[in-house]
Structure 1
Amino acid sequence: MPRPASDKRERLTDAAIDLARTTGLAEATLAAIASRAGVAQGSVYYYFKTKIDVAQAVADGIADRLAAARSDLGADPADALVAFLSAYVADADAIRAHGTLLATAAAGTGSDRAHRETLDWLTARFEELGFTGDAAHARAMHLLATVEGGAALAHALGDTSPLEREAAHLERWVESASS
């Protein structure tokens, strides 16, 4: 049974994200996106006229995915921060193989939306823990830089342990900050 046309852009965006993450944005050709999404190649041009349109859809789609995932992390700020870090560890094998969604969003797109929204969310959690704006932002930057750095090493070395170690360290750091 054919899928409804109304979800075609979403399927194309999901396919573009998957390809960008697994093979790189340069390899996410319109033909490859069409094939992965199960649509005729000609219809891709209706949604993505240029490679820049594909890159923007990838960046926006990842930002949307990450925002949705963060909304499910809970109301308690310390628990939400720990859940955020746990999500990285749960995705460690995919990160080792393909890098993080944040790294994919930034690579070749020029978009900082996913990073900025993630930093804003992290900053708000630290503010809820009682830190002032500047201190909360500094802690958010430290947490994100450290976990993304561990993820980058996991990807570069083909070994999840740098990510797992950094996430465990950050979890202890968050728990001590919330005590």
Structure 2
Amino acid sequence: MTDSKKGRRTSGKRERLAAAAARVLHAQGVAPTTLADIARAADVPVGNVYYYFKTKEELVEAAIDAHAQTLRGLIAALNKLPTPEERLKALLAGWAQQRELTAQYGCPTGTLASELDKRADGPGRSIAAVMQVLLDWTEQQFAQMDRADARELAVALIAAYQGISLLTNTFRDPELMAAEIRRLERWIDSLR
């Protein structure tokens, strides 16, 4: 095995572990999740996890990075749409598609942010940076709609999503999310 092949294989396992960490932490939360849980979800022998991540905290950071990468990919795809209204509605449509998962576990980023914020060791700041990217992008969309109140509208949109994610999860009712997404689409239309 050459170094370049080894590098690709190493990179693949590390990425699988990070993606698995994001999924498992979303489903189980940080405190009860073990390295073995993440290794199992990534289909990696538990002993190999320590080659890539020395501690659970490093895996939590990797999960946060996985959230950031997912968000960057989403934003890149949304930015291909021609108008800010279409981009915002496509964001809403993506949230609506995830409503079953949200009903089961809540918003992947929001629940992790809420859980990490209670810890004194600082990983909550990393997830806040991920949410800041989404907030800033949303503000840019409203600014492109010539809205002087773009920041307030962005906060309102993200807050509405986080709130409905909590209610959807609390009541295990994905239709709450679907109804709120329809309302938010009408709200975006009313801003023209």
* TM-score strictly above 0.5: yes
Asked if 1:96 is matched to 2:110, the reply is no
Specify the SS of the correspondent of 2:146. coil
Structure 2: which amino acid aligns with 1:127?
A
C-alpha deviation, 1:167, in angstroms: 1.2
Matches within 5 A, 1:10-159: 10-73=15-78, 74-106=81-113, 107-108=115-116, 109-110=123-124, 111-132=127-148, 135-159=149-173
Mark the runs of 5 or more structure 2 residues left unpaired by the alignment: 1-7, 117-122
Matched pairs, number: 174
Instruction: Give yes or no for contact 1:20–1:104 (8 Å, CA) kept in 2.
Output: no
The alignment's TM-score, normalised by the length of structure 1, stands at 0.90
| Displacement after TM superposition at 1:168 (Å) | 1.1
In the TM superposition, what is the alpha-carbon distance from 1:54 to its structure 2 partner? 1.5
Which of 13, 22, 31 aligns to 1:8? It is 13
* Amino acid paired to 1:150: I
Please list every run of 5 or more consecutive structure 1 residues that lacks an aligned counterpart in the other structure: none
**Which whole-Å CA distance do the structure 1 matches of 2:32 and 2:144 have between them?**
42
Post-superposition offset of 1:6: 2.7
Say if 1:16 and 1:33, in contact at 8 Å, map to a contact too. Answer: yes
> How far apart in 2 are the matches of 1:171 and 1:32?
38
Percent of aligned pairs sharing the same letter:
33
SS at match of 1:49: coil
TM-score (norm 2): 0.85
Amino acid at match of 1:43: N
1:169 offset after TM fit, Å?
A: 1.1
